[in-house]
Amino acid sequence: GGTIGILGGGQLGRMIAVAAKHMGYRIAVLDPTEDCPCAQVADHHIVADYDDTEAAERLSELSDVITYEFENVDLEVARLFEGAEKLPQGAYSLEVTQNRAKEKQIAVDAGLPVAAYEIVQTFDQFQKAMETIGFPAVIKTVSGGYDGKGQLPIGKEEDFDEVEKFIKEGGTYIVEQWITFDLEISQVFTRGLDGEITYFPVAENLHKNHILHETRVPAAVSDKVPKKAQEAVKALAEKIGIVGTFAVEMFVTGKDVYINEMAPRPHNSGHYTIEACSVSQFEQHVRAICGLPLLPIHSFPAAVMINVLGKHQDILHSRLENYSGFHLHDYGKGEARTNRKMGHITFIGNSLKEIDKQIKYNQIHMW
């Protein structure tokens, strides 16, 4: 028993809460939005900004243990919880993943391949960096970006004008070589307080407009790739001292695996684990932060998760009445804004071929 506090009340917070409630925990959530997805599931909702230290103290009083569901929560608040010995995930994991420069440095220190990169603060530094990185490249803000926001592709010298406008005084940016990958994968895993790691199957991720569209398991990679992915995340996990569920996004080119970015929490590409694995990324996360032994992971042979964005949610509900074969998750968000993640659906089966037939039959690929 006991109460788990969650910093952030989006869909990830909601799914952590649902898993925790099954296990008999109570939930307190801190989120500025009155009707955030987690509020419908939580026992207590503190409506306040993430950097509100008074609200944070209230969350701490209510909670035996605290977790964060996304990486852009206030680092000082996280340190406060860590000081009170209530944040098993730690603040360092957050500090690293809030900053692409730190993230890349950790990967380099762990001896893992990353796209060639330079950290720049001015347009002059950018031009200099491009001399070594070459075309094509991409420039990203070191912090705050997601779903492809806060980045600009650079294909040719004419794109420099855009970059000059993109670079703001006082900002810090990372310029990366563009990797022409075969596919993108993610390795979601959980590390316990005792250092034990369990790995979920490697997932293949397909993006549309820079937003995750579809996750496919098993990933279409050669035998060596999952082993490489596991070894890579193990090295990162031990360097960072990760506790809880964590995800690493990677690019695969042939046999090589490049580290792209990391998330110190359950991840969109791990949602398929709810139905496809004997323990989900959320339940395993709760077990890790509560100091329970992790469960071994057994999986269905194949799974596909598709994100439902914006108004497609309505289409989905009408589909449900006529079709079967998929599991629906509706996050209970109000306004169906374009590109807003409203829910997801998951197919499980014996093979991707069988699932693809189901997807076609359900006419899911209209969006």
User: What DSSP assignment string belongs to 129-171?
Assistant: HHHHH-SSEEEEESSS--TTTTEEEE-SGGGHHHHHHHPPTT-
Is 118 within any annotated ligand binding site? no
Minimum separation from the CB atom of position 175 to ligand ATP (A): 10
Supply the DSSP symbol for 84.
Answer: T
Q: Residue 51: count other Cβ atoms within 10 Å of its Cβ.
A: 12
Is 179 within any annotated ligand binding site? yes
Cα gap 285→296, rounded to integer Å: 13
Q: How many residues does the chain have?
A: 367
Within residues 181-200, the interface with ligand ATP by CB under 6 A covers 184
210 touching ligand ATP, by CB under 6 A: yes
Minimum separation from the CB atom of position 260 to Mg ion (A): 6
Is 146 within any annotated ligand binding site? yes
* Partner in contact with 52, chosen from ligand ATP, Mg ion, none, beta carbon below 5 to 8 Å by kind: none
Minimum separation from the CB atom of position 202 to ligand ATP (A): 15
* Partner in contact with 66, chosen from ligand ATP, Mg ion, none, beta carbon below 5 to 8 Å by kind: none
Is 261 within any annotated ligand binding site? yes
Is 184 within any annotated ligand binding site? yes
* Partner in contact with 224, chosen from ligand ATP, Mg ion, none, beta carbon below 5 to 8 Å by kind: none
Minimum separation from the CB atom of position 328 to Mg ion (A): 25
Minimum separation from the CB atom of position 314 to ligand ATP (A): 24
Minimum separation from the CB atom of position 339 to ligand ATP (A): 11
Cα gap 62→56, rounded to integer Å: 10
Write the binding mask 293 to 332 for ligand ATP: x where contact by CB under 6 A, - elsewhere: ----------------------------------------
Cα gap 77→63, rounded to integer Å: 14
Is 360 within any annotated ligand binding site? no
Within residues 228-287, the interface with Mg ion by CB under 5 A covers 249, 261
Stretch that binds ligand ATP, among 165-173, 178-186, 190-198, 351-359 (CB under 6 A): 178-186
Stretch that binds ligand ATP, among 76-84, 160-168, 174-182, 301-309 (CB under 6 A): 174-182
Cα gap 259→192, rounded to integer Å: 22
Cα gap 243→313, rounded to integer Å: 34
Is 148 within any annotated ligand binding site? yes
Token pair for 143: 């912090």
* Partner in contact with 342, chosen from ligand ATP, Mg ion, none, beta carbon below 5 to 8 Å by kind: none
Q: Give which of 265, 233, 260 is closest to 174, Cα–Cα.
A: 260
207 touching ligand ATP, by CB under 6 A: yes
Judged by beta carbon, residue 136 or residue 325, the one nearer ligand ATP is 136
Query: Angle at which helices 100-109 and 224-240 pack, to 10 degrees?
Result: 110
Minimum separation from the CB atom of position 176 to ligand ATP (A): 4
Within residues 134-153, the interface with ligand ATP by CB under 6 A covers 138, 145-149
Three-state SS for 240?
helix
User: What DSSP assignment string belongs to 8-71?
Assistant: --SHHHHHHHHHHHHTT-EEEEE-S-TT-TTTTT-SEEE-S-TT-HHHHHHHHHH-SEEEESST
Task: List CB contacts of 24: < 8 A, sequence separation 6 or more.
Answer: 1
Cα gap 118→108, rounded to integer Å: 13
Stretch that binds ligand ATP, among 89-97, 173-181, 279-287, 315-323 (CB under 6 A): 173-181
249 touching ligand ATP, by CB under 6 A: yes
Q: Exposed/middle/buried for 20, CB within 10 Å: 0-12, 13-18, 19+?
A: buried
Q: Exposed/middle/buried for 365, CB within 10 Å: 0-12, 13-18, 19+?
A: exposed
Question: Would you tell me which residues interact with ligand ATP (CB under 6 A)?
Answer: 115, 138, 145-149, 176, 178-179, 184, 207, 210, 249, 260-261
- Residue stretches of the annotated binding site for ATP: 100, 140, 145-151, 176-179, 184, 207, 260-261
